[in-house]
Structure 1
């Protein structure tokens, strides 16, 4: 599947998805003073009576969303990914423990945020939310997939966390192919036989570039968009192992307990295969442009190519 040359940011897809859900009167939107950044502002402009601006009070926003969910509403609450972390206790005890359907969106996730610096770069959010029982964790790769997966959340019971990105990225899908996405099922973007690259978020585009480089070297690579980290599509992982015999994971997130961690956890319980992880090492980010930080943190397509060679050598 070839990616179109232009696209949008996954946060734009979240905003568009909310508008598509507006016909259901149960849908309400909560903001923490960042609706313009998370793109929930588009819903607010058309449906102000169903949008609630909670100010810079993320803990309160989560508990208000919990109250709305317990009253029959379907709340979508958004802020920056890093700011959702200060509300961990409220998400855990107020939303997830009573199994309420609240959909949280953390925008500007990962080091791709760039010049805002390490204090604003959430490199651990996916890991944090994976640990909460019953929590669905999603990280779309482009604007169209973010929109489609947001729309699907309307019929998805229980709490969820979706991470979106600030910057525009090339589209992985088109208007037809995106309709084939399903929460909890990874998407096979390219099919190969030597190594399988499992990626999420902005790293899916890097994985596609890496696969093309590997192809020029005579190496056939599969690419999977694992947009749902929890529940993990283990059937697709099994198929990748059977077809390729070794794996690489790629994520704009810590290598600890994110996508790579999820895949490694599964491999530890089943027939194993060589796995190399591309992600942020055990360190904080820094300030710089997105491209500079991708280089500094080892998140480029060249880093994926190198990891693929290492994984293949371990077969």
Structure 2
């Protein structure tokens, strides 16, 4: 898949440092583990969905204290027409569960470049999740991004709700925030590009500042991804906190990227409705369940 991941560009520039493993994902990870024992820092590149074939090898790499970098592309329903067999929808859960791992999910090209540079110097299993779709450039080329932190893209002294997004959903969150302003609802937007380790202090501060009202939105199954990382960060806060977790809850089909996001309930319109729901007092559990796609009886 080097033509789809653009790894072929590296192959043309540095053929002596490129190894094509074709569909042998287990061997690909095993070779990377071997290379790092000789002092190299290997980068493994394939579709996020296909890394699942090498899950045991990744697990054993962590057991061996190996230092390797993984890049899983074509993640989530946003890849569009290719359908669910090609969509990585459980990758963040799988890689977050690996001992000592790092999970990163950038939203634009400049952020990606800075995080890739940091991956080379970080110990353990470091995973970068990338998107097929072209995304708007949000950040300047000289901006820096520290692993374990986040970026607050929109905030004020009177925010009503926090929206936490990463990757493809960051732009959806920003669009939702603009719409919410028309309803006199001020949204704090957080780009949680470092999913593991996640910025616990920033999330707790945002929860406190917005009355414990949060929306998480991710192009991933609801189990084990960004939403669960946020819930873990807020598990022991003393204040009452309500989180609406927008995630892919129904098996996707083939459609355009925009259609996939809408059908999965993770586009700007669904974020707006989730924020409006949180502004209602009180919010009941059934209200949330009936709102989420795939959760209705």
The alignment's TM-score, normalised by the length of structure 1, stands at 0.85
Structure 2 distance, partners of 1:204, 1:114, is: 18
Cα deviations across residues 89-120 of structure 1 (Å, max 9, x unaligned)? 00001x11112110000000000111111111
How far the C-alpha of 1:312 sits from its partner, in A, is 2.9
Q: Which residue does the alignment assign to 1:113?
A: 79
3-state DSSP of counterpart to 1:253: coil
Cα deviations across residues 107-144 of structure 1 (Å, max 9, x unaligned)? 00000111111111111111111111111011111111
Q: What are the equivalent positions in structure 2 for 1:32-71 lying under 5 Å apart?
A: 34-71=1-38
How far the C-alpha of 1:219 sits from its partner, in A, is 0.9
Q: What are the equivalent positions in structure 2 for 1:115-154 lying under 5 Å apart?
A: 115-154=81-120
Structure 2 distance, partners of 1:184, 1:254, is: 22
Cα deviations across residues 235-259 of structure 1 (Å, max 9, x unaligned)? 1101101221211101111122111
Structure 1 distance, partners of 2:107, 2:251, is: 23
Contact 2:71–2:127, Cα closer than 8 Å, also in 1: yes
Contact 1:249–1:277, Cα closer than 8 Å, also in 2: yes
How far the C-alpha of 1:190 sits from its partner, in A, is 0.6
Q: What are the equivalent positions in structure 2 for 1:259-274 lying under 5 Å apart?
A: 259-271=226-238, 272-274=240-242
Matched residue count: 278
How far the C-alpha of 1:38 sits from its partner, in A, is 1.4
Contact 1:103–1:153, Cα closer than 8 Å, also in 2: yes
How far the C-alpha of 1:296 sits from its partner, in A, is 1.0
Task: Say yes or no: does 1:217 pair with 2:183.
Answer: yes
Contact 1:121–1:285, Cα closer than 8 Å, also in 2: no
Give 4+ residue runs of structure 1 displaced > 3 Å after superposition: none
Q: Which residue does the alignment assign to 2:63?
A: 97
Of 223, 228, 247 in structure 2, the residue corresponding to residue 279 of structure 1 is 247
- Residues 147-156 or 199-208, more deviating: 147-156
- Residues 75-84 or 166-175, more deviating: 166-175
Q: Which residue does the alignment assign to 1:185?
A: 149
Contact 2:203–2:234, Cα closer than 8 Å, also in 1: no
Q: Which residue does the alignment assign to 2:255?
A: 288
How far the C-alpha of 1:311 sits from its partner, in A, is 2.3
How far the C-alpha of 1:66 sits from its partner, in A, is 0.4
3-state DSSP of counterpart to 2:127: strand
Structure 1 distance, partners of 2:70, 2:274, is: 33
Q: Which runs of 5+ in 2 are unaligned?
A: 284-297
Structure 1 distance, partners of 2:279, 2:8, is: 46
Cα deviations across residues 7-66 of structure 1 (Å, max 9, x unaligned)? xxxxxxxxxxxxxxxxxxxxxxxxxxx222212222211111011111210000000000
3-state DSSP of counterpart to 2:190: strand
How far the C-alpha of 1:183 sits from its partner, in A, is 1.4
3-state DSSP of counterpart to 2:206: helix
Task: Say yes or no: does 1:165 pair with 2:109.
Answer: no
Q: Which runs of 5+ in 1 are unaligned?
A: 1-33
Q: Which residue does the alignment assign to 1:31?
A: none
The alignment's TM-score, normalised by the length of structure 2, stands at 0.90
Structure 2 distance, partners of 1:312, 1:236, is: 21
3-state DSSP of counterpart to 2:141: coil
Cα deviations across residues 55-81 of structure 1 (Å, max 9, x unaligned)? 210000000000111111100000001
**CA-atom RMSD in angstroms:** 1.3
